[in-house]
Amino acid sequence: MATSGKLQAPLYVKVNPADNVAIIVNPNGLPAGSVFPCGLTLIEHIPQGHKVALTDLAHHQPVIRYGEAIGYALRPIKKGSWIDESLIELPPPPNLDELPIATKTPKSLPALNGYSFDGYRNPDGSVGTKNILGISTSVQCIAGVLDYAVKQIKETILPKYPYVDDVAALNHNYGCGVAINAPEAIIPIRTLQNLANHPSFGGAVMAIGLGCEKFLPERLLKDANPSNIISLQDYHGFGDMVEAIVQMAEARLIQLNQRRRTTCPVSELVVGLQCGGSDAFSGVTANPAVGYAADLLVQAGATVLFSEVTEVRDAVHLLTPRVINQNVGHTLIREMKWYDQYLANGEVDRSANPTPGNKKGGLANVVEKSLGSIAKSGSSAIVGVLSPGEKATQKGLIYAATPASDFVCGTLQLASGMHLQVFTTGRGTPYGLAVAPVIKVSSRSSLAEQWHDLIDVDAGRIATGEASIEEVGWEIFRLIIDVASGRKQTWSDHWGIYNSLCLFNPAPVT
């Protein structure tokens, strides 16, 4: 939100007319005795983003936000009180066997024509938004050697090829010591295979392995041509290994340096949506604005991915009516059931999701978090569902099942073909990806001011009335096009702030 100098009068946000709570907007919270224009008086201090009771609540009465029950009062609560997570009982999750499916499928929105971006057209027809030499790895053992080689490539060779943006080592923690034939091993394997063929790598593939691992480099590539593969155990000493990697890389840098941007329709874009470090404002500012931009992208024919199973599970009853048909609905439910069982196998449940930072930002539990999270999906029909690491092949709004972890979700969305990610945050995170630009959208203006050189879009202006959801949504849409075209740079790309890839491997490790 705005600084205290900008905003003096007490202000809260109530999302739905049925809500019996609202969240405090003022940056430093409000003291007891604060009086709102409606006459509501606070009877205790309430921090920014936290909930105030708009009415007296009886014991076990539903606490309603977004028009939905986020839980039940554990004791009587007076009007004007602070309702924190300790006062709310977590409700049961929606019953996956009793969900409405395709009962309110949205009508197609009018086509949005005339929008394009400058991308890199590949020989196979795909399009990239960056021009990167991606060096895939088949096993974690060789990461140190590859990192040394990549440092040398960047310092001594890359400057000769000005049209190449970067060299990225696709290191990971998989490849050996794993049950590679276990059924769930398909998730990390297809993730790595799809990452190796990301469109921003321009088809200039190379894979580095050790030589004795279970997941051999030949399995990484569509074309397992030996000329694209290096196994370190074939070389005489460290120096020879590094020299082989450098020589193979230079041959591909020559190829990539021929790539040039060309005009491409926005329909070629695959945009991922994610939130991290969420707070109570995420669901009323940043996520709805991103949802508006998502609708614009769908109208323009693009592919939009939203994810994070545990941050969808408690709001899935609002999503299954939006699917395009019964098959998509049942596939969405299948992914929810799979994850329920995955959590049960680990002897935890969905209540493990909210972080201390989420709670400090005003989120009481995973139900409230989920209701705010799904706002990123906008209002379009859901046309498809992907299992973790699957490649997107459809246009429109797609649910790509992933864990909620920022790093795991980002890796899996990259494997699904994501060109660019829009990432909302309330608490703040410097997260970034080397392969795809990450547009950071803050839910609070005070965060945008604090992190002025990390946040790309300030959606906090929505809560203070300085901008509308539609205005910020259009701002995000236009920024997506500019970033995809290379005309503008995200802060994470400006600073080179990139997180490591983080595979999702539910299969056993031996």
Consecutive H or E run containing 208: strand 207-209
- Model confidence pLDDT, tens digit, residues 404-420: 999 999 999 999 999 99
Q: Which amino acid is at 426?
A: G
**Global confidence as pTM:** 0.95
Residue 91 per-residue DSSP state:
P
Q: What angle do CA 284, 286, 291 make, to 5 degrees?
A: 90
- Model confidence pLDDT, tens digit, residues 226-236: 899 999 999 99
CA distance 65 to 18: 8
For residue 82, pLDDT beyond 50: yes
* Other beta carbons within 10 Å of 35: 13
Q: Which amino acid is at 57?
A: L
Q: How confident is the model at residue 1 (pLDDT cuts 50, 70, 90)?
A: very low
Phi, psi of 19, deg, nearest 5: -65, 140
Distance from chain centroid for Cα 444: 18
pLDDT at 6: 52
Six-digit token string for 428? 């703040």
Q: What is the largest CA-CA distance in the chain?
A: 80
Six-digit token string for 82? 């602070």
DSSP class per residue in 153-197: HHHHTGGG-TT--EEEEE--S-SSSB-TTSGGGHHHHHHHHHHHT
pLDDT at 228: 94
Grouping H, G, I as helix, E, B as strand and the rest as coil, residue 137 is: strand
CA distance 138 to 416: 19
Six-digit token string for 415? 């494997």
CA distance 229 to 225: 7
Handedness of CA 347, 351, 357, 359 (dihedral sign): negative
pLDDT at 5: 42
